[in-house]
Amino acid sequence: MSRIVTHEAKGPLEIKPSDKSTWVCRCGISKNQPFCDGSHKKTLDEGEDKIYKYNSDGTRVET
């Protein structure tokens, strides 16, 4: 299923259990959902006035 993920988060959410940190994806493009795999780094150069779609292989298309 294709989807456009709309939100303002630009990085992962850290959850701190008692023994170690866990990072939860908020960018919507991690291949290891619900956990962060660092894919949000691809979004750092996005223009705020543009809309992007990320394909299942991680490639970005400006819409």
Task: Please write the tens of the pLDDT for every residue from 31-40.
Answer: 898 899 999 8
pLDDT tens per residue, range 2-18: 456 666 777 888 887 77
Asked if the structure places residue 52 within a domain, the reply is: no
| Residue 32: inside a domain | yes
Rounded to whole angstroms, the Cα distance separating 39 from 28 reads 9
58 in a structural domain? no
Please indicate, yes or no, if residue 8 is contained in any of the structural domains. yes
Residue spans of beta strands (DSSP E) within 1-63: 13-15, 22-24, 52-54, 60-62
Asked if residue 49 is part of any domain, the answer here is: no
pTM of the model: 0.62
Report the pLDDT value the prediction gives residue 1, as an integer from 0 to 100.
Answer: 35
Domain count, the chain: 1
State the residue range of the domain holding 21.
1-40
Write out the two tokens for 45. 């150069």
Predicted local distance difference test score (pLDDT) of residue 37: 94
